[in-house]
Chains A and B, each alone.
Chain A
Amino acid sequence: MYETNYHRAGSLAEAESAIAAAEDGKFLAGGQTLIPTMKQRLAAPTDLVDLRHLGELKGISKQGDGSIRIGAGTCHADVAGSPEVQAAVPGLAALAGMIGDPHVRYMGTIGGSIANNDPAADYPAALMALGASIETNKRTLAAEDFFTGMFETALEDDEIVIAVTFPACAKSAYAKFPNPASRYAMAGVFVAKDDDGVRVAVTGAGQDGVFRAGDMEQALGANWSADAIAGIEVPADNMLSDIHGSAEYRANLVKVMAKRAVASLS
C-alpha cells in the first residue's frame, strides 16, 4: 500500500472540510473494498477521511409511509439482522446476509458499497429493483440516476451518502451465484413485486454494472412464475467475460438466478 494520511471525521462538516483540503482524498466507510484495493496498489488516495464514527450515518428506521430508511454507515450484518427490514423488505435483509462473509458484514456498509458501485456488488440490484432513493449531503437521488456505470455513480468527489430509503415490498427476493473465492456475485438478480407491477434488476453480470431486465419484468407482470422467464433470451453481448465465466455463461446465470428468486417467493 502506498502512503496515505488518515483523518477521522467527528462530524459531517469535518468530513467535508477534510476532503476539500485533500489533494486526492477518498471517504473510508467500512473499507472492505477500498483497503484491499489500496493493498493491491490499484488505488492510492493521498488522504482517507473515515466516516465510520459518524452517528448520524447509522441506524435503521421505519418511516410514516412504511418505507425503511437505512443510514449509510449501517453495516451489512445490522441490515441482515434487522426485524424492521426483515418484515418490510425481506429480500433486502436476505441480500445483506449474503454479502461477503460474516467478518466482512460487520465492517462493510451500505453507503460504502453503493458509492463504490462495483459491478459485482449486491446492493445495487436491490436499490434498482425496489426503486430506492439515496440521500446525500447535497441532494436526494433516485437509484436509476445514481448508478451510472461500472464503478461510476452520480456522486461528486465531495458528496457523502447519508442514507438509503427503500419502499416496503413484501414480495421481494434476491438470488445470486457467488464467485466461490471472492463471494462477489457472478450474477445476482433481485425481483420485487407490488401493486404497480414487477421490477427485476441484475448485478454481477453486466459490463456497465447493474441494469433492469425489462423483458423479464413484462413476462413476470403477465405471469408471476419462474416458468414465465423460461422463454426469455438474455443477450450475451453486454455481459462481463473473464476468467471466472464467459459472457454466454453469465447470460445463462442471469436467467437461472431470476427463476430461483421468483421460485423462492411462490
Chain B
Amino acid sequence: MTHKEMIEKVLNNIDKVIIGKRDISELSVTALLAGGHVLLEDVPGVGKTMMVKALARSIGADFKRIQFTPDLLPSDVLGVSIYNPKEMEFEFRPGPIMGNIVLADEINRTSPKTQSALLEGMEESSVTIDGETMRIPQPFFVMATQNPIEYEGTYPLPEAQLDRFLFKLKMGYPTKGEEIEVLSRAEKRVPIDNLETVISLQDLIDLQVVVKEVNVDDTIKGYIVECASQTRNNPYVYLGVSPRGSLALMKACQAYALIKGRTYVTPDDVQYLSPFVFGHRMILQPEAKYEGISTIEIVERILTKVRVPVDKVQIR
C-alpha cells in the first residue's frame, strides 16, 4: 500500500460520515501529518465533532473531548494528583489532554489561564504537573473550535497564541444537496458508530516520518520566503508573517504533497495552503479593517504578485 493509498483510505473513511467536506478533512489530515494543530472557527452544528471523531476512529486513535467553560481550570485539562489513602501517596489522574486526538470545543469560552495550559501542551507535546513532566502520547493532534458569533463572556485568543495552530479553517455550511444527503444518512443509522479503523496508529507515525523527507527545492523555499516577506512589506499589514510562519507553511506543504502522492512540493501547494497558514498569523492595520479587507484577501493578492519560480534561478 503506498503512502497515498493509505491516506486516501482514511479520507474515504471520513467521507462516509461527513458529506461534502473533503477539503476540510484533507487539510485536517495534512495538519495531523505535519504534526500541527487546527483551529476551526465556525458556528455550531456543522459537523466539527463528527469529523474529528471520524478521523480518530479511522486511525484507531484515542479520542478526547474537552468542552471549555468559563469555570474550567488548568487541572481539568492537564490532570490532577489525588491522594490515595490506600497506597498512602499521591496518584496522578491524567486529564483529557492526554489523548491522541483532542477536540477542544469552544476554546474561547474559558479563561486565558486554562487556554494557555492547553496551548502550552500543544506547543511542547508534554505537560508539567507538580513539577513532573509527562510526554503526551504521539501522535498528538488538537482540533480547537471557536464560535465567532457570541462575544459575550468569551476570551478571544491573542494573535501571538494563534500561531500555535498550523491552520485556521472555516467549515461552512453544506450545500442543499449535501444537507439532504446528511439527513437521509442519519435516518438509517448513526454512521459514526459503524466506522472502522483503516490504518494503525503506527502507520500514521510512519507517515509523519515520511512527510519530513518530502523534497522542498530551493526555488520553492525562496518562493515561500518571498511570499512571507511580502506580508511584512504590505501597507495594510501591521504585523507580517514571522519566520515561524514560513517554516509552518513549508511543513504543511510537505504533508500536502504526500497526500497528493508526490515526493516534492510544488508552487501549487504553497499557493493552496498559504491562506490557511498565513491568515491567522498577520495583524492588519485599522484601515484594512475599515475597508473590509481580510488577511486571506491580502495573502491572495500577494500570491498573484509574487513571481512563481518556473526555472532554476539563484535566489537573492
The finding on whether chains A and B are genuine partners in a shared complex, rather than unrelated, reads no
The chain B residues found within 8 Å of chain A, CB to CB, are: none
